[in-house]
Amino acid sequence: MADAKVESAADSSSTAALLQNTNATSQPNNPLSRKLNKILETRLDNDKEMLEALTALSEFFTENSLRTRRNLRGDIERRSLAINEDFARIFKEVKEELESVHEDVQAMSTCCAEMTSRLKAAKEQTQDLIVKTNKLQGENRRLEVRAQVAQAFLAKFQLSSEEMSTLRGARDAPISEDFFKALSRVKQIHEDVKILLRTNQQTAGLEIMEQMAVLQEAAYEQLYRWAQNECRGLTQEMCDISPILTQAMEALQDRPVLYKYTLDEFGTARRSAVVRGFIDALTRGGPGGTPRPIEMHSHDPMRYLGDMLAWLHQATASEREHLEALLKSVTLQDVEDNMQEVVGHITEGVCRPLKVRIEQVIVAEPGAVLLYKLSNLLKFYHHTISSIVGTGAAALLMTIEEMHMLSKKMFFNSLSLHASRLMDKVELPPPDLGPTTSLTQTLALLREVLASHDSSVVPVGARQADFAQVLSCILDPLLQLCTVSASNLGTADMATYMVNSLYVMKTTLALFEFTDKRLEMLEFQIEAHLDTLINEQASYVLTRAGLSYIYNCVQQHDAKQGPLSLVPGMDVSSVKAAMVQFDRYLSSPDSLAMPQLNFLLSAAIKEQIFSQSTELVCRAYGEVHAALNSPANAYKDPERLLPRSPQQVRALLL
């Protein structure tokens, strides 16, 4: 329809243009013509309003007829009127709504004004209250800060109710881990409160310090009573040190007096347990009779004494371990001295029964060797126990040392008595010039003593000192005995007897340590007597070989007396006869030996005597040979008189 209308309008425009072209020349100034020309010249494509108008017109202009074209203006006006009426109606509704809103806004404004006036009045009335409220709020904040500070102060410098109840428990209440935590807290507060004393809070600091001091004393008193009761109960042979008791001793070290009293209580309880255990071990034995009672071995002194000392050694070590467990957390500098003192107090109770029994064994005089073994055993246990407890167990160590000195004294008395008996009745040397029976028995005794000495576990230094004394006590009387016994013998017999006796002593001592000095002394004495035997053997050979007289003449001859051949007995015939006899000796040199040499106990010594005496014989022959070959002695043809040179003789003899 719109297209049709547009087409109609276009046709009309074409017609009008045509009319215009035809009439332009005739009516150039007609207004209608100008309007039509303006309309016709209009470009509808660019006129948006015209297009919108035409679009709106197409909605109700449905029929393009003459009638509708004539009534178009009226239709447009009626349509415009209807639109305006609708707009007025709608605007009226809007106006009514706006008036309602205006009324509401007016009411709200009135209410707000009323509320503002009321608030203003209320503000004027509550101004003082607000000021007071702000002031109270500020004060409240300050009080809250002060409360927090006070709570922190109380948390740092006061105990909680649980800690207070723990420290102020019943008199016989048990001690737990919480008690030590509370006590540690009290000590910490007592240390921290010293900070307050350096500030302006000295009064509070002094009050808190006094309060903590009172609590500490009460806590230490309760802890001391509990520890005493615990220590009194440690009377069993095998006691168990609880960790709580160890902590109690660690805490009590801050109170030296209470700490000392608790240790004394522990020592008293353990002392009674050790004494009872020692008596039971002596008389009743172990549980069920195993091990057997120690006194059942009283007939065997070594085992009897060894069992007692071994039990004491074990008991001392056990008590040392108990004390170490009790005081392992104590940090005092003199804790080692305390331990030694307590162990000494514990073991002091067994000193009397131990001393009585050891004295009974020693006084019974079991023999020198057994006394020496007992002495070494006592010395060993003295050293062993002292290495465990130091010098603290003074009473026990002193008792063992006294018994050691007593057994040692009895031992040396026994040796001295034995030596005096030897000197009272000196035994004469036997016919074979060997050691006497008394010497053999005494050396057997010495051998047993030295054997027990070597097997001893006593420290080397102590053994060496005892060894020198033992040797002096036995060897010196033996040497004197041998000298007195051989005083009536001849030179060779005496030397042989002394060499045999000294040789036996030397072989006995050579088996043991610490005998070097004595062996050296015996060697010197043997050498002295060997010199005698060597000289005697050389004299014996020279005499039997016929050179003794000639050798003596050669040694005693003086050139001023004239030639040696003029000396009586030194003529050629006498010298020839002596040389014949000497030749027989050269043919069998072993045949000329003193009878005493067959009694020597040592083949080496006998060989030494033969060798050195033969050397002397060769030397004597050399001197004789030189003298007879000397022209000053006026021997004719000395080569025939002495056909063998000294070198030949030496070759034959050596």
Residue 190: what residue type? H
Residue 563: what residue type? P
Overall pTM > 0.85: no
What are the domain boundaries of the chain?
A: 76-157, 161-225, 234-410, 411-533, 537-651
- Least Cα distance to 267 among 285, 249, 286, 282 occurs for 249
pLDDT computed for residue 463 by the predictor: 64
Is the bond into 366 cis (omega within 30 degrees of 0)? no
Distance between CA atoms of residues 348 and 106, nearest Å:
115
- The DSSP secondary-structure symbol of 327 reads S
CA-CA distances (angstroms) from residue 42 to 21, 37, 58, 538?
A: 17, 9, 20, 187
Taking only the tens place, the pLDDT of each residue in 317-328 is 998 899 888 888
Q: Which residues of the chain have pLDDT under 50?
A: 1-27
Helix axes 243-252 and 256-283, enclosed angle (nearest 10): 140
Reading phi first (left if > 0) and then psi (alpha if -120 to 50, else beta), residue 415 is in alpha
| Assigned token pair, 15 | 């017609």
Q: Which residues contact 250 (CB under 8 A, 6 or more apart)?
A: 329, 330, 331
Distance between CA atoms of residues 561 and 541, nearest Å:
28
- Least Cα distance to 368 among 403, 418, 404 occurs for 418
**Phi and psi, residue 76, nearest 5°:** -65, -40
Distance between CA atoms of residues 619 and 625, nearest Å:
10
Distance between CA atoms of residues 478 and 443, nearest Å:
9
- Least Cα distance to 625 among 21, 377, 633 occurs for 633
- Least Cα distance to 247 among 328, 191, 187, 188 occurs for 328
| Fold held by 537-651 | Monooxygenase (1.20.1280)
Q: Which residues contact 597 (CB under 8 A, 6 or more apart)?
A: 496, 533, 537, 606, 609, 610
- Judge contact between 433 and 493, C-beta under 8 A: yes
Distance between CA atoms of residues 274 and 349, nearest Å:
8
Taking only the tens place, the pLDDT of each residue in 370-405 is 888 888 889 888 888 888 887 655 788 999 999 999
